[in-house]
Every structure is written in C-alpha cells, then in structure tokens.
A and B are shown apart, each in its own frame.
Chain A
Amino acid sequence: MLHRISPLLSLLALLATWEGLVRLAHIPHYTLPAPSLVVQTLFANFTSLAGSWWFTIKITFGALILAIVGGVWIASMFALSRRLEHALFPIAVVLQVTPVVAIAPLILIYVASTTAALLLCAWIVAFFPILSNTVLGLRAADPNLRDLFRLYRATPWQRLRLLLVPSALPYFIAGLKISGGLSLIGAVTAEMVAGAAGRETGLASRILEASFRTDTPKMFAALLLLVITGVAIFWTFNALSRVLLGRWHASEKP
C-alpha cells in the first residue's frame, strides 16, 4: 500500500514545502508564485488557456501519428533492403542530431503554414526513436524461426504478419514511449521559436506572452498544463504497452 501512495506523498511534500517557503519568505509572486496561486490562475484563465492547450495537443498527437506512420513505413523499407538503409540512414541520423531549435527558423521560412511547420519540427524530433527501434525489431526475429517459415514455404504476407510484426512489436512500443514524450517537447520547442505567428497559438506562445508581461503565475499555469499532458502521454503508452504485450501472446488467436 505504501509503495503505491509514496509517489503521491513525495509530490505533496514537495508542493507543501514550496507553498510554505513562498509564504514564509514572502517571495513576490512575479518571482515565484505559490502552487495555490498557480492553480488559482489556471482556473481564472482556463477558458483562454484551454484553446492553446488544445492546439498544442493537436500538434503533439499530429506529429506523433505522422512519426508512427513515417517511422514504421521507412523502417519497413529499411528492413526489406539493407542497401536502402545504408543509403538513407545517415540522413535520418542528421535529422535526429540537429537540434530542432536550430532548424525551426529555417523550416518557418520554407513552410508557409505555421501549423504545418510546427508539425514538421515535432515530427523530426519524434520519428527517429520509432524508426530505429522498428528497424531493430523487424530484424530481431529469431533466425531459426525465419528458417522454419522458409521450410514451410510461408508467403511474404504470412512471414510479415505471423513472424516479423509480433517480433518487432515490443521494440516498436519502446520507441513509441520515447516518441510520445519527444513529440510534446518538439511541439513546444518549435512554437517557442515560431512565436505567436499564426492565428492559432499553443501553450508555448502563452508562456512567452506571459513572460513579456512578467505574469509569472500564468507562465506556471501554462507549464502545469504541459506537465499534465506529458504525464498523460506517458501513462497512456505504459497502459497501451501492458495491453498490447499482454494481448500479444493471444494475438495468434484468430
């Protein structure tokens, strides 16, 4: 029982210390707002923040879906042809190692729509773990099982469905867990660079905006929404992993 509530307790202790410290030391709210003030600000500004929150969520999940589709598609190509992988993998690495903050201004120049530019930035950050993990997973099938499928003259479709996909699934899910968090980071980082350029704005723009006005409690309120989003993504994919890897055993059943 204790190990279940201990994370909650430590979180509450941290918040209580923060609250106590701010009150006792009379720290001004524009330097460090107390947690209570942050929550208050969040509720007071919720209607205006909710729109931005929704925009950030759209960019995050849009980029993640594109990363899944693109990552799995490219990984399948790579798994089919080592030559193709050899030729194209360095490009994927270049995209991965270049800091998105550094290329975001360029992308904003070349891509007319801000939303599309943000999606592209977040995608660049999120797709690599899915790509590299899925490539690894598709190659991870037991060589003896591959031989067995050859011996019984399995069709390429049977080989993919009954051998390669189940073998790759745990690797793919590990990639998904990383990419889920990264797509949020990508979405926020890119918007930080883009600023409030578009008609619709996300939470990053609200944080920038609030910082110009030294509205620290509002910065924290927006940050709180980002934290909630990140934690929700983490939980969702952990649950998905449990469900899929539990079902993965039963996945053979028609």
Chain B
Amino acid sequence: MPGRPLISLQRVDKRFPTGVVALQGIDLQVAEREFVSLLGPSGCGKSTVLRLLAGLERASAGVIDSPAASAARTADTAFVFQDATLMPWATVFDNVRLPLRLAGETRAACDTRVRDVLHLVGLAGFENAYPAELSGGMRMRASIARALITRPRVMLMDEPFAALDEFTRHKLNDDLLACWQTQQFAALFVTHSVLESVFLSQRVLVMGSRQGRIVAEVRIDEPYPRSAAFRSSPSYLAACAELTAALAELHAPIDQVVR
C-alpha cells in the first residue's frame, strides 16, 4: 500500500430502518493518494459504503475512519454523484463555487480558484453557462470541478460516468487520472464496469451481491500515466478476465439456487 490508510471501514454493518441489511461486516481501506475502485452488481451496497464514508449515513455497527465521518475539516472529503447534481438556477461558476461559498468565502476571494479548477477539468470559458446549456459530459466535468475546488484529500465517486457514452467516458477517465496525479487525492470509485475499474485503479475491490462485503481484490500494477494502449495490453486483459471471473463466481451460487 502506498501510504497509511486515510479512510477505512472495520467490520461495519449497515441496517436500514426498513430492515434491509445493506452491509454486513465489511472491511475496506484506502491509503493516501491511492486510487481504489469498488466493483459490484447493482444493489450490493456500494453506494452505502460511500455514504458512510461521507458521513451521510451512520453505521449500525463497526468503526468508520474518514475525515468526513469524524468531526474533521469537511473540505477534506468530496463526493461526486452519478448525476451531475448541479443547481439548475446557477451558472457553472456559481455551482463550482458552492463549497467555498458554504464555507463563508466571498465571491472575489474564490474567483481565481474557480477559474483554475475549471481550466483543470477543461471547462475554461464556460463560467457563465447554465447546466441546461451543457452536454452530459460537460456537466460531469463541472461536477468534478466542484468536488476539486476544496482541494480534497478524499474523492468519493458514485458511478459518475455510468450515464455517459463510451467516447465521453474514456475521455473523462483519462482526464480524471490526470487530475488525480496532480491533485493528490485518494479516490474511492464505485462502478459496475470492469473495464473502467481496471483502467483507473491501483486496486479493485469486488463486492458480493447479497453478503454486502468485499469478496475479491485485484491489484493492477500498471504505472501512471496510463495511455490508451493500456486498454489493449495483456496485463489489462488479464485483470479484466480475473475480475469478470470473480463476478461470475459471485452469481454462480444464486443461479444454482434458482435452478
């Protein structure tokens, strides 16, 4: 592991008031500046993991260690939703500025930072556009810019590119990795795409569909920056095959029960 754990879950359970058990005895660690993907079928509790780490939900049992779950500086944690989640009544500039504004900073004080981060995500010149005027990919870029504006140490991303087309997704994958290398945050990236998880991550954790815990872990040692050629390299294909097999195994017992 590249550094000491920055966020972790230890034997964490999450039961909802409805009685649904989302997580049971899950262990998970992400080190500083590490890129980890959480891969699993829909409804396996991936999003719940992120919400616990963001302090948006409380665990039913176990220990959560993350800057947001503790009373530490909240700006350390950023969350990117599957939907861009921009305020439709505000410009790109004002949307990106929101975290700083909520922290009490004036418009003038954050002007340069907003422009810098928009430049970083490739949205320079779109400061005054409204979300409705942007494409899906550009809205997601604005959403990522808003997450980066506080210079977070932890980026929690909940299937951010799931709704985008393949080309846009590849481009955003590249740009996200570029941001990650310069901005030095730890990323926990939830996805249900094997290919995306392998391309992005240093480690991929596979979550079980019923158990709500990690059932497999695959390391991808390819150095960064990762080029498009990585997508057709043997190591990439091997990692994809390994993860696909882990996911297939996950479904096997259920299929047998059904039969």
Complex: A250 Cα to B83 Cα, angstroms: 22
Question: In residues 105-159 of chain B, which contact A (Cβ within 8 Å)?
Answer: 107, 130
Tell me whether A212 is interfacial, beta carbon within 8 Å.
no
B94 touches A145 (CB 8 A): no
Residue in A closest to B107 when the chains form the complex, CB atoms:
A254
Residue in B closest to A165 when the chains form the complex, CB atoms:
B89
Tell me whether A153 is interfacial, beta carbon within 8 Å.
yes
Tell me whether B25 is interfacial, beta carbon within 8 Å.
no
Tell me whether A253 is interfacial, beta carbon within 8 Å.
yes
Q: Please indicate the chain A residues that have their CB under 8 angstroms from the CB of B83 in the complex.
A: 144
Q: Please indicate the chain A residues that have their CB under 8 angstroms from the CB of B56 in the complex.
A: 147, 150-151
Question: In residues 27-46 of chain A, which contact B (Cβ within 8 Å)?
Answer: none
A151 touches B54 (CB 8 A): yes
Whether A249 touches B89, Cβ cut-off 8 Å, given contacts A151-B56, A151-B68, is yes
Residue in A closest to B150 when the chains form the complex, CB atoms:
A152
Complex: A166 Cα to B85 Cα, angstroms: 15
Q: Please indicate the chain B residues that have their CB under 8 angstroms from the CB of A154 in the complex.
A: 102
What's the least CB distance linking A4 to chain B, in Å? Answer: 27
Q: Please indicate the chain A residues that have their CB under 8 angstroms from the CB of B79 in the complex.
A: 147-148, 151
A253 touches B94 (CB 8 A): yes
Tell me whether A158 is interfacial, beta carbon within 8 Å.
yes
A248 touches B89 (CB 8 A): yes
What's the least CB distance linking B154 to chain A, in Å? Answer: 11
A142 touches B74 (CB 8 A): no
B85 touches A145 (CB 8 A): yes
Q: Please indicate the chain A residues that have their CB under 8 angstroms from the CB of B90 in the complex.
A: 166, 249, 251-252
Q: Please indicate the chain A residues that have their CB under 8 angstroms from the CB of B89 in the complex.
A: 166, 169, 248-249, 251-252
Tell me whether A21 is interfacial, beta carbon within 8 Å.
no
Q: What size tier do the contact residues of chain A reach? A: 20 to 34
A152 touches B99 (CB 8 A): yes
What's the least CB distance linking A158 to chain B, in Å? Answer: 6
A152 touches B74 (CB 8 A): yes
Q: Please indicate the chain B residues that have their CB under 8 angstroms from the CB of A80 in the complex.
A: none
What's the least CB distance linking B200 to chain A, in Å? Answer: 22
Q: Please indicate the chain B residues that have their CB under 8 angstroms from the CB of A254 in the complex.
A: 107
Contact of B102 among A144, A147, A152, A251 (CB under 8 A): A152
Complex: A149 Cα to B90 Cα, angstroms: 15
Tell me whether B230 is interfacial, beta carbon within 8 Å.
no
Q: Please indicate the chain A residues that have their CB under 8 angstroms from the CB of B87 in the complex.
A: 145, 162-163, 166, 252
Q: Please indicate the chain B residues that have their CB under 8 angstroms from the CB of A144 in the complex.
A: 81, 83, 85
B102 touches A158 (CB 8 A): yes
Question: In residues 141-197 of chain A, which contact B (Cβ within 8 Å)?
Answer: 142, 144-145, 147-154, 158, 162-163, 166, 169
What's the least CB distance linking B157 to chain A, in Å? Answer: 13
Residue in B closest to A248 when the chains form the complex, CB atoms:
B89
Contact of A152 among B51, B98, B130 (CB under 8 A): B98
Q: Please indicate the chain A residues that have their CB under 8 angstroms from the CB of B55 in the complex.
A: 150-151
Tell me whether B171 is interfacial, beta carbon within 8 Å.
no
What's the least CB distance linking B101 to chain A, in Å? Answer: 7
Q: Please indicate the chain A residues that have their CB under 8 angstroms from the CB of B51 in the complex.
A: 147
Against B, the Cβ 8 Å flags (1 = close, 0 = not) of A6-30 are 0000000000000000000000000
Tell me whether B91 is interfacial, beta carbon within 8 Å.
yes
Complex: A220 Cα to B51 Cα, angstroms: 65
Against A, the Cβ 8 Å flags (1 = close, 0 = not) of B20-50 are 0000000000000000000000000000000
18 example contacts (A-B, Cβ-Cβ < 8 A) are as follows A144-B85, A147-B51, A147-B79, A148-B79, A151-B55, A151-B56, A151-B68, A152-B74, A152-B103, A153-B102, A166-B90, A169-B89, A248-B89, A249-B89, A249-B90, A251-B89, A252-B90, A254-B107
Closest 5 CB pairs of A and B: A252-B94, A252-B90, A144-B85, A152-B102, A166-B89
Given contacts A147-B51, A249-B130, A251-B90, 5 further A-B contacts (CB under 8 A): A144-B83, A150-B55, A152-B98, A166-B90, A252-B94
